[in-house]
Structure 1
């Protein structure tokens, strides 16, 4: 009998079954009180009726094909978390709703996924000032017991991850490619500790990096976070889009407020002029994150209350 991981990998490779179709499959399994293994034992007619799929798609699902990748994931200590799994981050489901990734692949300390977390976003080619601000903000959050989440790209992302680990904190690395492609980069190597990091990907384990993946990954960072800090945003591109997504999903959004803007922070001034929350230095030259912490604690309280309500439904 194939494992749940093998069946999920098969579903992810089933032609015509995208994220929306996967969520429909998972919802159908819950409604019919069926397991993944039960599904493979169904007839085509039963799959159509219980999972709400078309006949051709049902036939493809039942034409199970095992993947050697399952063993590779096991050897690499990768957990597979479908959205119906209790280990799937509740915050991600609550924030993104139907847009939440139907499956996550994760390795490292999965307990971090339930911790208070603030997302970092910013330019890959950030200014020296921006990199310093990212490092100082991550350090300040770590001292408050907050996890730092970002996208493992060069620039702001890498500085935030590294600073969090360097100062004894935790970090969530959200990939824009398959988790089998994860490698510890030289910038973070001296501080990397798998007990204080969790690596997450919503893409097929061997999938390559694409621009569209990076945009999608930014939404997942947002969904895992109780607030988003933007260090440097240009007037277009992934960071600007991530900020717009934060507004859409009502995630508290904070921008570094520089006395002098440069090309990589023009977006900061735009959003600040529209009333976005500002992060400024205090009288000691450190970032004042009081507003961020208030937002995080409010979100934590709301998430806790909502989770209890969901369990009672």
Structure 2
């Protein structure tokens, strides 16, 4: 990964990262997330990308960015090439990789769900493919009693038995207990850290798990960064964005990172169902989250009841912002927002993701509602009757599904689990499940228990 660090990623690191291999620039000199977001938009508007700022003849581009970021400040940050080379060597020695939003390897879940709020740069160690598997997010307080630790370990072990990745924040208390339970059960774990990635990856026990592909650790902050309350708060959205469902084991009321992250998920992002532990004793924090819409965790023991929790539907959105896909500033009356009013939630989600991804990723072609809708069935002819395709235009969702239908059919040479289909299509487990269930409803696929998975009901249906 590090040997092929893209030019875009190098530029973004120079502009936003402290590069703690030496003294580096003061953090106040670096571009904040908001400043980089504005710069990325501006570069896109003038038909450039971050890598262009490193070109020998970049002077004109830098001047063109003056209305957004001071030209001299950009020059100073971009002049840290030697410091960047030093820190890259340090990361390589510790098997730490780094990707930016401009890289194809960047986790699709984060980019699709968080859009421009996805971290510009992501650091990590371990198997990056685990970031696309979805799973159960488990979060909670740091200071808890032994009984809650044991309870949380058991939840992690249950996730491992079900083959679900466990996602948590790596902090002491509930986070570490959930991760330990999943790892001891032979499961996969994704730890989203707010600090000390470098130190934690060098831990001998973690090292073996990272090398074996059982554990991946990521952070949006410099690998040498120390703990910061603000960073811990901000990384919570990444935990939820990587998951298919979430469980809050313990929380204070109206304070703390666990509360803030869960409330953000319930009130704003609405990416996954949020469950709270069903406590015998009163819990002001958990009761408060329940009043905001969190669901009681039914303490499942069997695999069927555990898997059912991942089928829980989110509240029906009334606008695109409830998908966590709120429009960009000054877009309230844009063609995109007006079109959202007349299409289904599925159409709105797929259309908005495609449009926003194309506008925030400098390496993607621009997608508009017009050219998205102009795709007809003729573009997916293998899946459709030619006479029908010449007459009918598909919605964006139907266009996408027509192609996916063919690909899924080709995959079904035997029973397939949701995770297998999701990996093959490079989408989230939740999205793969929606498509598979649709084919079940159509009578094309059937859901099997032994072996568990989906299989063709009619052998030649996709031919």
User: TM-score normalized by structure 1?
Assistant: 0.83
Unaligned residue ranges in structure 2 (runs of 5+): 19-24, 316-322, 324-345, 359-364, 368-463
Q: Determine which of 177, 180, 202 is the counterpart of 2:195.
A: 177
Name the residue aligned to 1:242: 261
Q: Determine which of 63, 79, 82 is the counterpart of 2:79.
A: 63
Q: Determine which of 50, 58, 68 is the counterpart of 1:43.
A: 58
- Please state if 1:259 is matched with 2:274: no
Preserved contact between residue 263 and residue 289 of structure 2 (Cα < 8 Å)? no
Q: Are residues 202 and 190 of structure 1, via their aligned partners in 2, closer, same or farther at CA, if it must alter by over 3 Å? A: closer
Q: Distance in 2 between matches of 1:123 and 1:266?
A: 13
Q: Distance in 1 between matches of 2:99 and 2:208?
A: 27
Task: Please identify the structure whose Cα radius of gyration is greater.
Answer: 2
Preserved contact between residue 210 and residue 216 of structure 2 (Cα < 8 Å)? no
Q: Distance in 2 between matches of 1:307 and 1:73?
A: 38
Per-residue deviation at 1:285?
9.2
Q: Are residues 189 and 57 of structure 1, via their aligned partners in 2, closer, same or farther at CA, if it must alter by over 3 Å? A: closer
Q: What does 1:215-294 correspond to in 2, within 5 Å?
A: 215-235=233-253, 236-247=255-266, 248-251=268-271, 252-261=273-282, 265-282=283-300, 288-294=305-311
Name the residue aligned to 1:17: 31
Per-residue deviation at 1:136?
2.2
Preserved contact between residue 101 and residue 119 of structure 2 (Cα < 8 Å)? yes
Q: Distance in 2 between matches of 1:133 and 1:250?
A: 26
Q: What does 1:126-205 correspond to in 2, within 5 Å?
A: 126-183=144-201, 192-194=209-211, 195-205=213-223
Q: Determine which of 105, 113, 120 is the counterpart of 1:102.
A: 120
Return the structure number with greater relative CO, CA threshold 8 A, min gap 6.
1
Residue by residue over 1:7-52, the C-alpha shift from the partner in whole angstroms, topping out at 9 and shown as x without a partner, is: 4432224614111233344455566354626534243331242695
Q: Are residues 161 and 204 of structure 1, via their aligned partners in 2, closer, same or farther at CA, if it must alter by over 3 Å? A: same
Residue by residue over 1:108-133, the C-alpha shift from the partner in whole angstroms, topping out at 9 and shown as x without a partner, is: 01110111222111011223332233
Q: Distance in 1 between matches of 2:303 and 2:172?
A: 23
Q: Stretches of 4+ moved more than 6 A in 1? A: 296-299
Q: Determine which of 187, 204, 212 is the counterpart of 2:230.
A: 212
User: TM-score normalized by structure 2?
Assistant: 0.58
Secondary structure of residue in 1 paired with 2:209: coil
Preserved contact between residue 127 and residue 210 of structure 2 (Cα < 8 Å)? no
Paired positions, count: 304
Q: Distance in 2 between matches of 1:155 and 1:191?
A: 22
User: RMSD across aligned C-alpha pairs, in angstroms?
Assistant: 3.4
Q: Distance in 2 between matches of 1:191 and 1:133?
A: 26
Secondary structure of residue in 2 paired with 1:95: helix
Residue by residue over 1:112-163, the C-alpha shift from the partner in whole angstroms, topping out at 9 and shown as x without a partner, is: 0111222111011223332233222222222332211111111110111111
Q: Distance in 2 between matches of 1:112 and 1:285?
A: 24
Q: Are residues 218 and 150 of structure 1, via their aligned partners in 2, closer, same or farther at CA, if it must alter by over 3 Å? A: same
Q: Which moved more, 1:61-70 or 1:223-232?
A: 61-70
Preserved contact between residue 170 and residue 192 of structure 2 (Cα < 8 Å)? yes
Q: Distance in 2 between matches of 1:297 and 1:106?
A: 30
Secondary structure of residue in 1 paired with 2:235: helix
Q: What does 1:74-93 correspond to in 2, within 5 Å?
A: 74-93=92-111
Q: Which moved more, 1:169-178 or 1:4-13?
A: 4-13
Per-residue deviation at 1:60?
2.3
Q: Are residues 19 and 275 of structure 1, via their aligned partners in 2, closer, same or farther at CA, if it must alter by over 3 Å? A: closer
Q: Are residues 23 and 163 of structure 1, via their aligned partners in 2, closer, same or farther at CA, if it must alter by over 3 Å? A: same
